[in-house]
Amino acid sequence: MEELFKASIVKGFVLSVYGELGPAPIYCFPDYYTEKELKEINETSKKENELILSMRDITQISIKNLSLFISDKIISREKDLKKIQYFAILPYPDFKSTALTYFHFIRLGSERPVATAFSILIEENSRSFLYNNINRIKPIVYEFFKTFDEKIEKYYPPREDVSSMFHSFLLKLVKIEQSPSTPITTHRKMKILFAGLDDSGKTSFLLSVDRKYSKLIGLKPTSGASIKSIEALGATIFLWDLGGQYKFRKKYITKAEIYLYEADLLFYFIDIKNRNRFEESIDYLQNLKNVLNKFNQNTPIVYILSKGDSDILKSGEIKDNIEYIKKKLSEIPSNEPLEIYITSIFQIFTILRAFSSGISKLSPNRDLINHNLKNFSLATSSYLSLLLSIDGLVLADFYSSEIMEFITIPKSEVMNVFEITAPQFAMLFKIFSKFKALQKEEAIFKVANSIILFKRIQIEDNSMFILFLVDNEKKKKIINKQLAQFLFQTKDLLLRYIA
Ligand SMILES: Nc1nc2c(ncn2[C@@H]2O[C@H](COP(=O)(O)OP(=O)(O)OP(=O)(O)O)[C@@H](O)[C@H]2O)c(=O)[nH]1
Ligand SMILES: [Mg+2]
323: pLDDT strictly greater than 90? yes
Ligand 1 pocket residue status of 213, Cβ below 6 Å: no
Ligand 1 pocket residue status of 222, Cβ below 6 Å: yes
| Most trustworthy range by pLDDT among 68-72, 360-364, 422-426 | 360-364
Residues with CB under 5 A from ligand 2 (ion): 202-203, 222
Question: What is the β-pairing status of strands 235-242 and 225-232?
Answer: antiparallel
Q: Map out the domains of the chain with their CATH numbers.
A: 2-178 (no CATH), 189-361 (3.40.50.300), 366-495 (3.30.450.190)
**pLDDT tens digits, one per residue of 92-115:** 999 999 999 999 998 877 677 889
> In the structure, what pLDDT confidence band is assigned to residue 363 with cuts at 50, 70 and 90?
very high
**pLDDT tens digits, one per residue of 327-345:** 999 999 888 889 999 999 9
Which is more confident, 435 or 75? 435
Q: How far apart are CA 324 and CA 330, in angstroms?
A: 10
**What's the pLDDT at 418?**
56
Q: Comparing 49-63, 307-321, 341-355, 427-441, which segment has the lowest mean pLDDT? A: 427-441
Phi and psi, residue 196, nearest 5°: 155, 170
Span between the terminal Cα atoms of the chain, in Å? 29
Could you give the strand order of the β-sheet that contains 340-342, starting from the edge strand earlier in sequence?
Answer: 225-232, 235-242, 189-196, 265-271, 301-306, 340-342
Closest listed residue to residue 318, CA positions, set 333, 306, 330: 306
Buried b (16+ CB within 10 A) or exposed e, 368-394: bbbbbbbbbbebbebbbbbbbbeebbb
**Residues paired with residue 312 on neighbouring β-strands, in sequence order:** none
Ligand 1 pocket residue status of 202, Cβ below 6 Å: yes
**What's the pLDDT at 72?**
47
Ligand 1 pocket residue status of 344, Cβ below 6 Å: yes
**What's the pLDDT at 79?**
64
**DSSP for 263-276, written as a single string:** -SEEEEEEETT-GG
Q: How far apart are CA 254 and CA 263, in angstroms?
A: 16
> Mean pLDDT, the chain, as a whole number?
88
Ligand 1 pocket residue status of 243, Cβ below 6 Å: yes
Q: Looking at residues 305-328, what average pLDDT do you find?
A: 94
Q: How far apart are CA 400 and CA 407, in angstroms?
A: 12
**pLDDT tens digits, one per residue of 143-188:** 999 999 988 877 889 999 999 999 999 999 999 999 887 888 888 8
CA separation (Å) from 191 to 132, 256, 390? 11, 14, 22
Instruction: Write the residue with the smallest CA distance to atom 1 of ligand 1.
Output: 307
**What's the pLDDT at 421?**
61
413: pLDDT strictly greater than 70? no
Specify the 3-state DSSP secondary structure of 258: helix
Question: Cα of 328 to ligand 1 centre, how many Å?
Answer: 22
**What's the pLDDT at 47?**
64
Q: How far apart are CA 261 and CA 94, in angstroms?
A: 36
Question: Cα of 353 to ligand 2 centre, how many Å?
Answer: 20
**What's the pLDDT at 76?**
55
Ligand 1 atom closest to residue 243's alpha carbon, by position in its atom list: 25
407: pLDDT strictly greater than 50? no
**pLDDT tens digits, one per residue of 1-59:** 989 999 999 999 999 999 888 899 999 999 998 888 888 877 666 666 788 899 999 99
Ligand 1 pocket residue status of 201, Cβ below 6 Å: yes
452: pLDDT strictly greater than 60? yes
Ligand 1 atom closest to residue 220's alpha carbon, by position in its atom list: 16
User: Taking a C-beta distance cutoff of 8 angstroms, is the pair 467, 454 a contact?
Assistant: yes
pTM of the model: 0.89
> In the structure, what pLDDT confidence band is assigned to residue 346 with cuts at 50, 70 and 90?
very high
Closest listed residue to residue 483, CA positions, set 467, 460, 462: 467
Written as one letter, the residue type at 273 is: K
Closest listed residue to residue 466, CA positions, set 450, 447, 452: 452
Q: Comparing 78-82, 212-216, 297-301, 449-453, which segment has the lowest mean pLDDT? A: 78-82
**DSSP for 163-213, written as a single string:** HHHHHHHHHHHHHHHHS-SS---SS-EEEEEEEESTTSSHHHHHHHHTT-G
Ligand 1 pocket residue status of 219, Cβ below 6 Å: yes
**What's the pLDDT at 206?**
96
Closest listed residue to residue 342, CA positions, set 409, 420, 272: 272
- CB count in 10 Å sphere of residue 345: 17
> In the structure, what pLDDT confidence band is assigned to residue 409 with cuts at 50, 70 and 90?
very low
423: pLDDT strictly greater than 90? no
| Most trustworthy range by pLDDT among 63-67, 81-85, 244-248, 441-445 | 244-248
352: pLDDT strictly greater than 50? yes
Residues 6+ positions from 357 with CB-CB distance below 8 Å = 302, 339, 341, 394, 418
Question: Cα of 193 to ligand 2 centre, how many Å?
Answer: 12
pLDDT above 70 covers a percentage of the chain that reads 92
> In the structure, what pLDDT confidence band is assigned to residue 463 with cuts at 50, 70 and 90?
confident
Question: Cα of 343 to ligand 1 centre, how many Å?
Answer: 11
